[in-house]
């Protein structure tokens, strides 16, 4: 069960201690409609049905019902000056759903023109630092008095992420390994959140008294994702399985599947089904049949990739990469097996060349795949307006460039143009005039 919202289900191996749970606001998941009968556009993979989503009568010519914004596309913890850490936003009719919060995610979110107030929920695929480094910053920095754009986090955001792993792997090559915080060596997202509350207590307490900011402990409702009973644990991280429900609201239905990501447990891939199409995020994963299962006939598959071809490095690094990630030369086959209409690579790294050669990567990723491939760029936007996925006005779509993310100014320019088309949805704030005015001010083009 979800240990923080008392949702019925399989007991999560990483169940929560009472003293921590007492400080995480609990709320029941809204999953009651999953037994309905309607089939959503773009679904067909997960053997699930659901009731129709809200807002079925909106006109087709409204722009950007569904938009994917790649906030950061860099794989791994190393600080890349050309790419921000991994994070993606999915905007559905003006509500924003964030998938992962890597390095600089909160800054990239605002640079993309996304409204903090539009944040509906945050989804964390797993608890590696390159996926959570900026998670708490959305509340620590983004929920204080409004920024110069008059924007800050809403009073409530749902957070969905892993529970405790329940155990640690042995040290590669044998021998002893030091353990950080042996009293709680495998914290889940509820622990992580509460530890952050404690670590930043002085900041919060001072600001509450000095400027009257909201109590940060009340801003997020943390849900540790309940796992189905498939025998998964930290020693059997991703057995072959069917997707399972995570959440549903009036705009999205989110399902998940476990993916093999080295010793990390749990590690999730997420699929978002909406009235306007579906977007599936692989999370961090090596090759697995679970991705084609989850992503079956999806409109957009956002998949991680690395290039190891030509790399010679320490055995531990090579082993980690092979067991944790998907070679770019194989990712096209995954998209083909899924029947994905479009493949977008994000969370990418080339261990032999930096920045990434997008032309070379496009050729690699296209192997065995008949659909369109995008080598993702920071702040790239991909829209679906109800008549199928269309490229955004951004300069980086198509994967034909070889900028490796250097042309940030151009990318932001494209992003702002796209924001103009979508501002009516209410998710965007950029400068003192909205993008809907056709004039956007206050955008920082500095690197």
Nearest residue (CB) to Zn ion, 189 versus 422: 189
CB of 374 to Zn ion, least distance (A): 19
Nearest residue (CB) to Zn ion, 213 versus 322: 322
Nearest residue (CB) to Zn ion, 78 versus 81: 78
Q: Does 83 bind Zn ion (CB under 5 A)?
A: no
Q: Which stretch binds Zn ion (CB under 5 A): 113-121, 141-149, 186-194, 276-284?
A: 276-284
Beta-carbon contacts of residue 248 (< 8 Å; ≥ 6 apart)? 30, 31, 33, 34, 50, 254
Nearest residue (CB) to Zn ion, 67 versus 284: 284
Neighbours of 438 (CB within 10 A): 10
CB of 422 to Zn ion, least distance (A): 28
CB of 347 to Zn ion, least distance (A): 6
**Whose structure tokens read 């057995």?**
239
Beta-carbon contacts of residue 275 (< 8 Å; ≥ 6 apart)? 40, 41, 52, 53, 55, 56, 65, 251, 386
How far is residue 167's CA from residue 265's CA, in Å, rounded to a whole number? 9
Q: How many residues bind Zn ion (CB under 5 A)?
A: 3
324-383 positions binding Zn ion, by CB under 5 A: none
Give the gyration radius of the chain's Cα atoms: 21
Q: Does 134 bind Zn ion (CB under 5 A)?
A: no
110-129 positions binding Zn ion, by CB under 5 A: 128
Interface pick for Zn ion out of 100, 130, 224, 378 (rule CB under 5 A)? 130
Phi, psi of 255 (to 5 degrees): -120, 165
Nearest residue (CB) to Zn ion, 166 versus 431: 166
Nearest residue (CB) to Zn ion, 91 versus 101: 101
- Under 8 Å between Cβ of 116 and 140: no
Region of residue 346 (phi > 0: left; psi between -120 and 50: alpha; otherwise: beta)? beta
Question: Peptide bond preceding 407: is omega within 30 degrees of 0, i.e. cis?
Answer: no
How far is residue 124's CA from residue 223's CA, in Å, rounded to a whole number? 11
Nearest residue (CB) to Zn ion, 274 versus 346: 346
CB of 208 to Zn ion, least distance (A): 34
Q: Does 284 bind Zn ion (CB under 5 A)?
A: yes
Binding residues (CB under 5 A) for Zn ion: these are: 128, 130, 284
């Amino acid at each position: 069960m979800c240990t923080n919202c008392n949702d019925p289900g399989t007991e999560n191996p990483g169940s929560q201690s009472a003293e921590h749970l007492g400080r995480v606001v609990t709320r029941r998941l809204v999953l009651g409609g999953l037994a309905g009968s309607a089939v959503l556009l773009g679904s067909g993979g997960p053997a699930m049905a659901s009731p129709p989503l809200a807002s079925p009568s909106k006109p087709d010519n409204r722009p950007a019902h569904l938009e994917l914004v790649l906030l950061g596309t860099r794989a791994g913890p190393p600080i890349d000056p050309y790419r921000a850490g991994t994070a993606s936003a999915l905007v559905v009719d003006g509500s924003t759903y964030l998938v992962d919060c890597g390095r600089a995610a909160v800054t990239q979110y605002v640079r993309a023109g996304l409204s903090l107030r539009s944040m509906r929920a945050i989804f964390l695929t797993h608890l590696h630092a390159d996926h959570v480094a900026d998670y708490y910053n959305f509340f620590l920095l983004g929920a204080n008095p409004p920024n110069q754009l008059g924007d800050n986090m809403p009073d409530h955001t749902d957070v969905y992420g892993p529970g405790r792993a329940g155990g640690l792997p042995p040290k590669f090559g044998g021998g002893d390994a030091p353990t950080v915080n042996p009293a709680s060596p495998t914290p889940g997202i509820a622990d992580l959140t509460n530890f952050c509350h404690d670590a930043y207590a002085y900041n919060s307490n001072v600001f509450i008294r000095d400027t009257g900011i909201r109590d940060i402990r009340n801003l997020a409702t943390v849900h540790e994702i309940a796992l189905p009973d498939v025998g998964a644990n930290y020693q059997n991280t991703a057995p072959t399985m069917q997707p399972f429900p995570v959440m549903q609201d009036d705009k999205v239905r989110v399902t998940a599947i476990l993916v093999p990501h080295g010793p990390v447990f749990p590690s999730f891939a997420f699929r978002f089904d909406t009235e306007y199409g579906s977007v599936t995020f692989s999370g961090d994963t090596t090759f697995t049949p679970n991705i084609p299962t989850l992503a079956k006939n999806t409109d957009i598959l956002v998949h991680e990739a690395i290039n190891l071809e030509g790399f010679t490095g320490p055995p531990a690094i090579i082993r980690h990469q092979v067991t944790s990630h998907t070679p770019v030369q194989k990712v096209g086959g995954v998209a083909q097996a899924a029947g994905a209409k479009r493949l977008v690579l994000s969370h990418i790294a080339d261990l032999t060349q930096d920045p990434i050669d997008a032309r070379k990567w496009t050729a690699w990723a296209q192997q065995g795949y008949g659909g369109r491939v995008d080598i993702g760029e920071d702040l790239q936007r991909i829209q679906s307006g109800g008549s199928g996925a269309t490229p955004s006005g951004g300069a980086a779509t198509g994967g034909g460039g070889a900028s490796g993310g250097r042309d940030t100014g151009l990318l932001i320019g494209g992003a702002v143009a796209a924001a103009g088309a979508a501002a009516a949805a209410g998710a965007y704030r950029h400068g003192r005039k909205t993008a809907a005015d056709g004039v956007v001010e206050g955008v920082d083009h500095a690197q």
